[in-house]
Amino acid sequence: MEKHSAREGVELLPQDVIIEILLKLKVKSLVRCKSVCKSWLSLISDSQFTKLHFDLSAPTEKLLFISIWGTDLELPSIDYNESLNHDFSCVRFKVPHGIFHPVYYKFGGSCRGFLILECWNHLRLWNPCTGFHKKVCRSPMDSLKDDSYDLLFQGLGYDPLTDDYLVVQLLKNLYSNDRKGAEVFSIRANKWMEIEPINLSLKSCRDNKRPCRVLNNAIHWLGCCLKEEMEVVFILGFDVTKKKFYEIAAPIDVEHSTDEKALSELAGLLSLCVYKESNRSIEIWRMKEYKIESSWAKTSVVSLVLPRRFFNLLCVTKDGDIVGKDEKELIKYNKKGEVKENLSLARLNLSSFHVEIYKESLFSLPCHNE
C-alpha cells in the first residue's frame, strides 16, 4: 500500500518538475531510477534527456583500473574528486560476459562515457555505467602491427556534426621514424578509413603511453618527435570533425624535459602537469588560449612534503589536489604538497595495471545493436 501511494505521489508531479529533479542526479542514481516505472525508463533512456544531463550536470570524472594479467573482470573505479577512502567513491563495473577472455587487455581511450577495451588487437567500445558495448571490426592495418609497425597513439572521439564516435589509430614503422600510417573507425559507417598521418618524425616514448584527453572536439596525446636531431616533447591533437592531426608545442621549459608528465583539463583548459624529479615538485601549466602556444602559463608549483619514489602523475581534481600513484598506493596531495589521503592498491586487488580517465554518461551508441 505504501509503495502504491508513493508511486501515485510521483505521478502527480508535473513532467517538467520530474525532469528538473532527475537532471540533478548522478548517473548511478539515474540507472536505478529506470526501474521505478515505465515512464521514467522511457524518459531517462531518451537521447535528448541523456544529452541534456551530460551537458548540464558536470559529469562525474573517474579513474578506471584494469589488471594487465588478471582474471578479475570486475573493474574498480574511483571518483577522484571525492575522498579516496569513502565506500561510495569506489564502484566495481563488471565487464559484460563474452567481451574478453581472461588474458592481457588494456584501455585505449575514452570519450563521453565510452571506453576502448583492447585485447590482442580486438577492440570493443563499452559504457560501464549502462553496459552498452559494441565490437569494432578488425582494422586493415592490424597485420602491420604484428609485422613492422608499432601503435603509437590510440583514442576515441565524438563528432557532434554527424553524431558519430571515431576510433583513431596512428602507427609508426619500427625501422623508420618517417614511415607512418593512420586510420579512423566510424561507428555509424561501421568501417575503417585510412587518413593522412602527421608529418613529424615520431618516436616511441613513455609519454605517448599516457591516457589521452578529449576537449574542444579533439583528442590530445603527449608525444615525442625528433627535431634537429633532438628529442622534443609535444602534444598531438586530432580534430574529430575535420579528421586531421595537428601539433601543439609544449611549454618551452618542458619540451626537452624527461620528467614525468600528464595531460589534464582544468576549468575547460588544456593543461599539463610535470613532476620535477630534481626538486620533488609538481608544475601545472595551462593553455589559456587553445592552440596559441604563447599562451602557456605556469599557474602553480607544488613542492611535495613527503615525496614518493617511482611517483606517477594521474590527474588533478576540481579543487586543485594532485592524484598520483607509486608502487603501492594511490596518493592525493593538496595544494601545499601535503599528503591529503592515500589508498592501498592492494584494497583494489591491483598490482600491475592500466588506468583510464573517463566521464560517466547514460549515452548509448548511434546505430547500437549489441
pLDDT in tens, 9-59: 556 778 889 899 999 999 989 999 998 888 899 999 999 999 999 998 888
Q: What is the pLDDT of residues 92-103, one digit of tens each?
A: 888 776 665 555
CA distances 231 to 64, 258, 292, Å, are: 31, 10, 22
* 132-142 per-residue burial string, b: 16 or more CB within 10 A, e: under 16: bbbebeebebb
User: What 3-state DSSP class applies to 254?
Assistant: coil
- pLDDT above 90 covers what percent of the chain? 50
Residue 190: what pLDDT?
93
- Beta-bridge partners for 3: none
pLDDT at 369 over 60: no
Res 60: pLDDT: 87
Whole-number average pLDDT of the chain? 87
Q: Alpha-carbon distance 62 to 225, whole Å?
A: 30
Q: Angle formed by the axes of helices 38-45 and 47-56, to 10°?
A: 60
Residue 118: what pLDDT? 85
What are 211-221's pLDDT values in tens digits?
Answer: 899 999 999 99
pLDDT computed for residue 1 by the predictor: 43
Residue-wise pLDDT for 2-20, tens only, equals 555 545 555 677 888 989 9
Write out pLDDT tens, residues 176-206: 767 789 999 999 999 999 999 998 888 777 7
- What the block records as the C-alpha cell of 279 is 626538486
pLDDT of 92: 87
Q: In 10 A of CB 3, how many CB atoms?
A: 7
Compute the average pLDDT of residues 165-181.
86
The reported pLDDT for the residue numbered 349 is: 81
Whether residue 105 has pLDDT greater than 80: no
Q: Residue 131: pLDDT above 70?
A: yes
What pLDDT band is residue 228 in, cutting at 50, 70 and 90? confident
User: Comparing 66 with 110, which gets the higher pLDDT?
Assistant: 110
At 70, the pLDDT band (50, 70, 90 cuts) reads low
Q: Write out the DSSP string of 176-211.
A: -TT-EEEEEEETTTTEEEEEPPPSS-EE--GGGGSP
Q: Cell numbers of 15, please? A: 513532467
